[in-house]
Amino acid sequence: MKIAVFGTGGVGGYFGARLAAAGNDVTFIARGKHLAAIRANGLRVTSANGDIMIKPAKATDDPASIGRVDVAMLCVKLWDLEQGAAACRPLVAGGGYVIPFQNGVDAIQRAGAVLGAGKVVGGVAYIAAIIGEPGVIRHTGTMARLAFGEADGLVSPRVEKFLGVCGKAGIDAEVPAHVAVAQWRKFALLAATSGWTSLTRQPMGVIRADPEMRSCLRNAIAEVVAVGRAGGVELELKEIDGTLALIDKLPAEMKTSMQQDLERGNRLELPWLSGAVARLGRAAGVPTPTHDLIAAALKPYVNGSAAAA
């Protein structure tokens, strides 16, 4: 397949490299020092699942120069979603489609408003990976999984084709029965862990081992599940303990991407994570005291601060 990876960070860099290593025609869209390093030295991924080196790697900062693609993987931060979707227009003009792999639960709607609903397939990525240095993606642990599907739940030929391509690349991927449910499951995991790792400045192992912090983490998961259920998402209450069990399997040293952004003084996705839980909870009449606290406490850092760490 011809694939464009818009945003060559932890998600796009890791999965894009796996797809390129399997022989797909992959172009990485990046910028600045990261782009320069990829062009000069290739794209390197360090991972317990096996290191990857894509050299030469096709990379650009101009999506329009790539031409039409089969799939555009949109892997930018949440605040860049609309701008990134608009830049994908020439990539999918010939019948291709975009899969947004953002955090949060509204990427399908936001990208669809820019591109048209028929040009967007819902996506979810489970991975802990960052740009370790320009041209290098560092993957923590072994979790690396994709889920994607049509918003209406139908298993379309285009989704089946991409699933097969992922399988041949050794990527753990699935087409869930309802991609919205998969997105909310991820949202419960990520909003809770991003909030608590950032608020405490501690890795996952410290938080889940401490009884008080573990209880707060569980409360954060439960609030997301409650908000989702109030909005008509078919989440079962067992998702709460199921999500906590998944967290118990994560590397003890793992830090969420939002915690690492905080430590680096970068902008935070807080308004679309704990901020969104609090906002949606108010609209639905569902109390979200844990996420209210997280959103308020981290608000001073939302636009980035070198003093954050």
Band the pLDDT of 300: cuts 50, 70, 90.
Answer: very high
Q: Is the pLDDT of residue 164 over 90?
A: yes
Tell which residue, 74, 128, 125, 126, has the closest CA to residue 96: 74
Q: Three-state DSSP class for 120?
A: strand
Band the pLDDT of 308: cuts 50, 70, 90.
Answer: very low
Tens-place pLDDT, residues 40-67: 999 999 999 999 999 999 999 999 999 9
Per-residue confidence (pLDDT) for residue 78, from 0 to 100: 87
Domain spanning 2-177, CATH class: alpha beta
Band the pLDDT of 248: cuts 50, 70, 90.
Answer: very high
Per-residue confidence (pLDDT) for residue 69, from 0 to 100: 97
CB 190 within 8 A of CB 247: no
Tens-place pLDDT, residues 1-46: 999 999 999 999 999 999 999 999 999 999 999 999 999 999 999 9
Query: Could you state, in order of their start, the residue ranges of all structural domains in the chain?
Result: 2-177, 180-301
- Averaged over 111-133, what is the pLDDT? 93
How many Å apart are CA 88 and CA 64, to the nearest integer? 8
Q: Where are the alpha helices (DSSP H) in the chain?
A: 10-21, 32-41, 81-87, 107-115, 157-168, 179-200, 204-209, 211-230, 238-248, 257-263, 274-284, 289-298
Pick the CATH number of 180-301 from 3.40.710.10, 3.30.565.10, 1.10.1040.10, 1.10.1270.20: 1.10.1040.10
Strands 122-133, 136-149: parallel, antiparallel or unpaired by DSSP?
A: antiparallel
Tens-place pLDDT, residues 253-298: 989 989 999 999 999 999 999 999 999 999 999 999 999 999 999 9
How many Å apart are CA 106 and CA 78, to the nearest integer? 10
Tokens of 172: 């753990």
Tens-place pLDDT, residues 168-227: 999 999 999 899 999 999 999 999 999 999 999 999 999 999 999 999 999 999 999 999
How many Å apart are CA 55 and CA 11, to the nearest integer? 19
Average pLDDT, the chain: 94
